[in-house]
Amino acid sequence: MGIVIETKNLKKVYGSKSMSFTALGGIDLQVEEGEFLGIMGPSGAGKTTLLNIISTIDNPTSGSYFFQGEDMSKVKGKALASFRKNKIGFIFQDFNLLDNMSVQDNIALPLALGKVKYSEITRKVNEISDFLGLKEHLNKYPYQLSGGQKQRVAAARALMTTPSVIFADEPTGSLDSKSAAELLGCLTDMNIKYKTTIIMVTHDAFAASYCRRIMFIKDGKIHARLDKNKDRKEFFHRIMDMVSSMSSGIDYYVQDDKRRDY
């Protein structure tokens, strides 16, 4: 598989010369096509800053960022807008659904804005909603859905443009344990069926255990990496061991942990 994302000595500094804060202190990262990568670290470690840069929401202070071999510092204007529309998708903690639109219209929105034929939009909405178990909810509105259902709608919307990468920022943070497990199962299925690369920021060790690889960030630098073996339960315990080995102030958690079914 090829490399979809690569950063070299990526740095982000906020403030002025007299008073500055280094959010990222030189990140070297490679993400392969089809990966499911988790990013973990304490609050203020630089997780969201990194996610914002590789999703082109923010720009690095220095260093380089390549997406499918293209230097993103040279992608501007309409080309950048096209990149954001077609190459990447987002899943946010707070869903970001439009309350005055039906589930069907929320899912269809990325293609509707792109002036895709109605027949193609309908076909794709039906395909993805069926895949994510949303078919019976298409005519409902967000206020009629549970948190887990809303997040699956957000995942369906992110899939509509067949993006190369989906960025998920704390996608289980607002969900109960059952809904979180269902969503993580959906993300895993999306990763397998559509070969979509998923990069997920999370504080939840259980959520992280669904990833194939974890990168731990501390003080703006990569602290450690873990690769998954076949057993997710064993991977979960390795993640927890890594969390324990880092400073005691880290605010990781296992969401609603009553010992979940692995």
Residues whose CB is less than 8 angstroms from the CB of residue 191 and which lie 6 or more positions away in sequence, other chains included: 34, 36, 197, 198
The two tokens of residue 122 are 């309908």
Give the pLDDT score at 235. 95
pLDDT band at 179 (very low <50, low <70, confident <90, very high): very high
Residue-wise pLDDT for 93-133, tens only, equals 899 999 999 999 999 999 998 889 999 999 999 999 999 99
Residues whose CB is less than 8 angstroms from the CB of residue 30 and which lie 6 or more positions away in sequence, other chains included: 3, 5, 6
The two tokens of residue 38 are 């988790």
Which run of H or E residues covers position 89? strand 88-92
Give the pLDDT score at 18. 85
Give the pLDDT score at 258. 38
8: pLDDT strictly greater than 50 = yes
Task: State percent of the chain over pLDDT 90.
Answer: 84
Mean pLDDT of 32-58: 95
Please give the model's pTM, rounded to 2 decimal places. Answer: 0.91
Give the pLDDT score at 249. 52
**Distance (Å, whole) CA 167 – CA 99:** 22
Q: Which domains does the chain have, with CATH numbers?
A: 3-248 (3.40.50.300)
Mean pLDDT of 37-58: 94
Give the pLDDT score at 81. 94
CA 91, distance to chain mean position in Å, is 6
Give the pLDDT score at 236. 95
pLDDT band at 30 (very low <50, low <70, confident <90, very high): very high
Find the largest Cα–Cα distance for the chain. Answer: 58
Mean pLDDT of 9-27: 93
